[in-house]
């Protein structure tokens, strides 16, 4: 259901409410509409658009470029084969690659390095090319323009690269528009099958290769460093006598990897990959309870001096996802383990799961914003505002804050191939800079990590990166305790303890 349809539907509902004459019959009709449209609205909200490329096809496609990552913008089976749907999602997105699929098993399309902008002009693009991938061919077929100029026609009616015009008449067919600037055999390009089973457009983001020297130092030296970091964490003691464990709060948008971070740290100390917290992808937050996770080290004998507090994901809307008031209550230690979040109502002082008189050990000592490195540049203005409002509230409480940048493996192919490239990756360095500017924290507060997501076995480099992040969290918690010592009674009073 399109937004405009939804808007008309809502206006209609509003009109119904003010109508006195046929109120009852109107209400009956509204109820009918609700029954018809609600499942579709809900499924729109819940659906997560996924690429149809297989791992092998994606590899072959990426081999056509330098160091790039692909971001899916448009998928015809989800957004429709209408030109307008394509333009809504793909105009002004910079370099894009079109990926079409047919029954004959061909994955084909084209790349343009310029914007789609509906200028109604033929656009010169010497970097544009057509390509075709099949299971049988080891390398993709790549066809550049013979005149080295023509890229595509930037009209309102067409998704085209070179001579291939997709979404022909708003349908799932391809038209070959005669022209001699691209020459290929139809059999080789698409197996002479111009009926599509799917059509996708991806933004092509340049990852920029590797730096000569790392932008942050880290000791990757195998098990000795991992053991050293684990020992630091096990032996850490909060600088306040009444507190035995540093409480670290994880907040961030839905699906950013908050629960996976706890699972990953738990895995490192368990010695094998585990999944105590539920993780996965859904339209709304998979985590709906406040969870305070203690981690056991040394074969479950001793709890670490660290509690990771997992929350429901943040969403854009006012009555969706974690509420800003909930964050404030958690900070002050009012919210108990397993409290069930209610997106339309913040924690009630007389409700279940509310701790009326928390002590310092129940409060949050460090807040970690968890952000997905692949989606950071796509955060909406509303989400950025929400993060800023949360940050303002936390600043007032004087709690130190860090940022965990997850999914670095998905964000940069060079890091996916070798995690030790993380501090050499131009892309990740740029991303940490952008995150620091956006959230108003210093770059040293941004910690890129890779969580365990599909692996069955631990990897020492993944562990070192994860443990390094935990060490920073403990150090920052200490600065909070330092502050309390310096503030003395005055600070305790201010905290309402
Ligand atoms: N490749 C990769 N996948 C990750 C990483 N971190 C998390 N994921 C995946 O991302 C998805 C979402 O992760 P979750 O840990 O459930 O995210 P969350 O922030 O807890 O999400 P909600 O509870 O729904 O708000 C899961 O499928 C994870 O496997 C990572 O560093 N790399
Ligand atoms: Mg979660």
Confidence label for 488 from pLDDT (cuts 50, 70 and 90):
low
Nearest-CA residue for ligand 1 atom 2 is 407
Alpha helices in 114-216 (DSSP H): 186-190
Looking at residue 339, its pLDDT comes to 87
Closest ligand to Cα 285: 1
pLDDT digits over 341-397, tens only? 887 788 888 778 788 889 899 999 999 999 999 888 778 888 899 999 999 999 998
Which residues fall inside 5 Å of ion ligand 2, going by CB?
A: 258-259, 287
Q: Which of 260, 283, 293, 311 to mutate to test the pocket of ligand 1 (most atoms within 8 A of CB)?
A: 260
Q: Does 40 have pLDDT greater than 60?
A: no
Do the beta carbons of residue 467 and residue 233 sit within 8 Å?
A: yes
Report pLDDT for 32. Answer: 42
- The average pLDDT across 411-419 equals 91
Pocket-testing residue among 69, 254, 261, 279, ligand 1, by greatest number of atoms within 8 A of Cβ: 279
Top-confidence range, 2-16, 81-95, 269-283: 81-95
- Counting ligand 1 atoms within 8 A of each CB, the residue from 422, 453, 461, 463 with the most, and so the one to mutate, is 453
Backbone phi and psi for residue 387, each to the nearest 5 degrees, phi listed first: -60, -40
pLDDT of 78 > 90? The answer is: yes
* Whether the predicted pLDDT of 218 surpasses 60: yes
Ligand 1 pocket list (CB less than 6 A)? 252, 254-260, 279-281, 285-287, 313, 370, 406-407, 409-410, 450-451, 453
DSSP string covering 370-436: EEETTTGGG--HHHHHHHHHHHHHHHHHT--EEEEEE-HHHH-HHHHH-GGGTTTBHHHHHHHHHHH
Residue nearest to atom 23 of ligand 1 (CA): 287
In this prediction, residue 277 carries a pLDDT of 86
Statement: residue 37 has pLDDT above 70: no
- Would you say residue 450 has pLDDT above 90? yes
Between the CA of 48 and the centroid of ligand 2 the distance, in Å, is 16
Give 234's pLDDT tier (boundaries 50, 70, 90). Answer: very high
Mean of pLDDT over the chain: 85
Per-residue pLDDT of 185-213, as tens digits, reads: 999 999 999 999 999 999 999 888 899 99
Distance 451 CA to ligand 1 centre (A): 8
Q: For the domain 222-494, what is the CATH code?
A: 3.40.50.300
Q: Where would I find the beta strands (DSSP E) of 155-312? A: 159-161, 164-166, 175-176, 196-206, 246-251, 289-297, 302-310
Q: For residue 178, is pLDDT > 60?
A: yes
Q: What pLDDT is recorded for position 15?
A: 43
For the chain, the domains span 3-46, 55-206, 222-494
DSSP string, 325-375: HHHHHHHTT-BPTTEE-BTTBPPPTTSTTB-SS--GGGS-SEEEEEEETTT
pLDDT at 158 over 90: no
Handedness of CA 28, 29, 32, 34 (dihedral sign): negative
Q: In whole angstroms, how large is the CA radius of gyration of the chain?
A: 26
Q: Compare 329 and 287 and report the one with higher pLDDT.
A: 329
Q: Give SS3 for 177.
A: coil
| CB count in 10 Å sphere of residue 66 | 10
> pLDDT digits over 79-122, tens only?
999 999 999 999 999 999 999 999 999 999 999 999 999 999 99
The answer to whether residue 325 scores a pLDDT higher than 80 is yes
- Write down the pLDDT at residue 356: 84
The Cα 300–Cα 288 span in angstroms is 27
pLDDT of residue 179: 73
What is the model's pLDDT at position 39? 40
420 forms beta bridges with none
pLDDT at 301: 75
Residue whose C-alpha is closest to residue 340's, from 277, 290, 285: 290
Residue 96 has phi, psi (to 5 degrees) of -135, 155
Query: DSSP state, 444?
Result: G
Q: What is the pLDDT of residue 34?
A: 43
Query: Comparing 45 with 165, which gets the higher pLDDT?
Result: 165
| DSSP bridge pairs for 387 | none
Which one, of 70, 66, 80, 142, lies nearest residue 110 by Cα? 142
The residue assigned the tokens 């994880």 is 250
Higher pLDDT, 132 or 277: 132
């Amino acid at each position: 259901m399109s937004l405009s349809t939804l808007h008309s539907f809502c206006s209609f509902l509003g009109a119904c409410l003010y109508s006195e004459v046929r109120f009852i019959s109107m209400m009956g009709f509204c109820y009918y509409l609700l029954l018809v449209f609600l499942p579709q609205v809900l499924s729109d909200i819940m659906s997560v658009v996924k690429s149809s490329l297989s791992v092998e096809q994606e590899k072959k496609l990426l081999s056509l470029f330098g160091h790039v990552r692909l971001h899916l913008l448009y998928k015809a089976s989800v957004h429709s084969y209408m030109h307008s749907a394509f333009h809504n999602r793909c105009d002004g997105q910079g370099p894009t690659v079109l990926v079409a699929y047919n029954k004959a098993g061909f994955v084909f399309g084209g790349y343009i390095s310029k914007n789609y902008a509906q200028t109604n002009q033929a656009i010169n693009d010497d970097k544009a090319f057509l390509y075709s991938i099949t299971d049988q061919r080891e390398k993709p077929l790549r066809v550049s323009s013979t005149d080295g100029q023509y890229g595509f026609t930037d009209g309102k009616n067409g998704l085209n690269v070179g001579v291939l015009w997709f979404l022909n008449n708003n349908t799932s067919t391809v038209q070959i528009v005669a022209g001699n600037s691209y020459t290929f055999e139809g059999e080789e390009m698409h197996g002479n099958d111009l009926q599509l089973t799917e059509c996708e457009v991806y933004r092509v983001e340049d990852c920029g290769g590797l730096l000569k020297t790392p932008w942050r130092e880290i000791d990757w030296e195998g098990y000795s460093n991992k053991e050293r970091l684990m020992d630091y964490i096990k032996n850490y003691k909060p600088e306040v006598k009444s507190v035995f464990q540093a409480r670290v709060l994880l907040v961030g948008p839905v699906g950013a990897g908050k629960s996976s971070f706890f699972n990953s740290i738990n895995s490192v100390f368990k010695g094998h990959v585990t999944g105590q917290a539920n993780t996965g992808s859904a339209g709304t937050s998979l985590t709906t309870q406040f969870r305070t996770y203690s981690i056991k080290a040394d074969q479950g004998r001793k709890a670490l001096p660290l509690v990771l507090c997992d929350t429901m994901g943040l969403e854009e809307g006012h009555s969706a996802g974690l509420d800003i008031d909930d964050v404030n209550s958690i900070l002050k230690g009012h919210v108990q383990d397993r409290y069930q979040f209610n997106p339309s109502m913040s924690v009630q002082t007389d409700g279940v799961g509310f701790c009326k008189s928390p002590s310092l050990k129940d409060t949050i000592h460090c807040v970690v914003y968890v952000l997905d490195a692949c989606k950071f540049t796509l955060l909406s203005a509303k989400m950025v505002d929400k993060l800023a409002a949360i940050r303002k509230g936390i600043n007032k409480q004087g709690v130190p804050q860090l940022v965990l940048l997850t999914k670095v493996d998905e964000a940069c192919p060079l890091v996916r191939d070798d995690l030790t490239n993380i501090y050499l990756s131009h892309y990740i360095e740029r991303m940490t800079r952008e995150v620091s500017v956006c959230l108003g924290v210093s770059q040293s507060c941004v910690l890129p990590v890779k969580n365990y997501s599909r692996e069955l076995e631990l990897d020492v480099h993944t562990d070192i990166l994860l443990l390094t992040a935990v060490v920073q969290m403990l150090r920052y918690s200490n600065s909070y305790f330092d502050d309390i010592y310096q503030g003395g009674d005055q600070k305790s009073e201010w905290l309402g303890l």
